[in-house]
Amino acid sequence: MNEDMTAYISGVREMMYTRAGGVPMAYVRTYGCQQNAADGEKIKGLLAQMGFEFTGSDQEADLIIFNTCAVREHAEDRVFGNVGALKNLKRRKPGLIIGVCGCMTEQQQVAERLQKTFPFVNMVFGTHVLHRLPEMLHQILAESQRVMLLGHEEKAIREDIPIRRDGRSRAWVTAMYGCDNFCSYCIVPYVRGREKSRRLDDIYNECRSLVESGYKEITLLGQNVNSYGKGLTEQVNFAQLLARLDSIDGDFRLRFMTSHPKDASKELFDVMAASRHIPHHIHLPFQSGNDRVLSEMNRRYDREKYLSLTAYARKVMPDVSFTSDVIVGFPGETYEEFLDTLSLIKEVEFVNLFTFIYSPRPGTKAAGMLDPISHDEKTRWFAELLKVQEGIAVNNCKKLVGDRQRVLVEGRDQKTGLLSGRTASSLVALFPGEDSLVGEFVDVEVTEAKGWSLLGRMI
């Protein structure tokens, strides 16, 4: 961290302590994907260095930051609603600092709306300038200026940003940033920028440090982890990165997301099959089971390619499980084409699906496509898909009754009061136990399938 940044951090710490009349409190709310969650941990890491402590209530905060997502329209609407609700709080607490950051703010129309419609928001900044948060806060406090800092100005990856992790047993580790795929429905390449990979040694050292600190599950993040290695001087691919990380000694799981089918390789599945730490579970989004729709989505693979990947993975890992993402009602999709999606779901038998009705994002190619199918009709297709997947998921869970599963305990289930954790295939398992087991691995015998989850007892 350079001298200027150190000075900004020190200055903000002093000014905020005076302004708050004691230790300042920050409320950071993150929306969206795991990459956003990782960004949120960096924001908290910087704020902690500036002397902030954290609260779960916006009413108690001296600083509020909304870390936003741009993938779905509904998420944007929620952010605007929640930001608007802060107007009265700002009136009661004039010294309150409000910031909005993340993927939403990288869209020009959103940034302009925040600037014009929400004058009580003090700062708006994008995903590429998180490291400049101390500088932005210093400018607000010292000069009483509103800050708008957007754009893809940062070319190099910053390895000096502190991280305040939200959990003690599970950790996110970013392997690469950005996306070069430009799927026709997706805004991510426009807001996250081009693909940039972190150096293998930097990732290795971070993961080794986490294992040595007692973390039990590490998830590598990237919009398309399978294209890892772009822009690096060293010749390395994602399978080789996984093999290197698998060499770390310790009792931990190593997961990754998200994989793009066009770049998934047999080498990747071979590394998983031979690994000590990588669960035989793959999140492999297929989005649609119809070739014409996949072409319109610009996914650059077809149904046969996807099914050949799952078949090879099952060949080398007979116990492998799959989860995926599906879009229902892409512009121009017919019911007959939607049925191809259902048939693929039945063939692969996913343990879980993340399903969405198509949501147009301004600035993407798909937003300008003809879309004659009504939302009500798409909702009926969506319900049909959910019914099919529910049957598959319930059947998959029933097959596990009597089996022994290794579970990472995450906490207590609020409805049942039982301990809750996840198996290697990312299924939820519920069982009796003591709070001291949270954050540990335990062996559980599955005694009952309860819908989408497993009930059991510790062995």
Which pLDDT score is estimated for 70? 82
DSSP assignment, residue 435? G
Which pLDDT score is estimated for 155? 66
Q: What are 268's two structure tokens?
A: 């990747």
Sequence-separated (6 or more) residues with CB below 8 Å from residue 210 = 171, 173, 218
Give yes or no for a contact between 242 and 248, defined as CB atoms under 8 angstroms apart: no
C-alpha 244/C-alpha 293 separation (Å) is 37
Which pLDDT score is estimated for 78? 87
Which pLDDT score is estimated for 5? 86
Which pLDDT score is estimated for 110? 86
**Degrees, nearest 5: CA angle 205-284-40:** 50
pLDDT digits (tens, 9 = 90+) for 72-108: 777 788 888 999 999 999 999 999 999 999 998 888 8
Half-sphere exposure of 24 (CA within 13 A, CB side): 25
**pTM of the full predicted structure?**
0.93
Query: Please, what are the domains in the chain?
Result: 3-149 (3.40.50.12160), 167-279 (3.30.750.210), 309-399 (3.30.750.200), 404-458 (2.40.50.140)
What is the strand order of the sheet 170-174 is part of? 170-174, 217-221, 253-257
Which pLDDT score is estimated for 33? 87
Q: Tally Cβ neighbours within 10 Å of residue 187.
A: 21
Which pLDDT score is estimated for 154? 57
3-class SS letters over 102-148: EHHHHCHHHHHHHHHHCCCCCEEECHHHHHHHHHHHHHHHHHCCCEE
Which pLDDT score is estimated for 74? 75
Half-sphere exposure of 108 (CA within 13 A, CB side): 3
Give yes or no for a contact between 44 and 84, defined as CB atoms under 8 angstroms apart: no
Q: Return phi, psi of residue 147, to 5°.
A: -115, 130
pLDDT digits (tens, 9 = 90+) for 442-454: 999 999 998 789 9
Residue ranges for the chain with pLDDT beneath 50: none
Which pLDDT score is estimated for 368? 95
Report, in this order, helix, strand and coil percent for the chain, each rounded to 5.
40, 20, 40
Provide the H-helix boundaries in 50-122.
73-84, 87-92, 108-117
Q: What are 53's two structure tokens?
A: 């402590």
Which pLDDT score is estimated for 122? 95
C-alpha 14/C-alpha 333 separation (Å) is 58
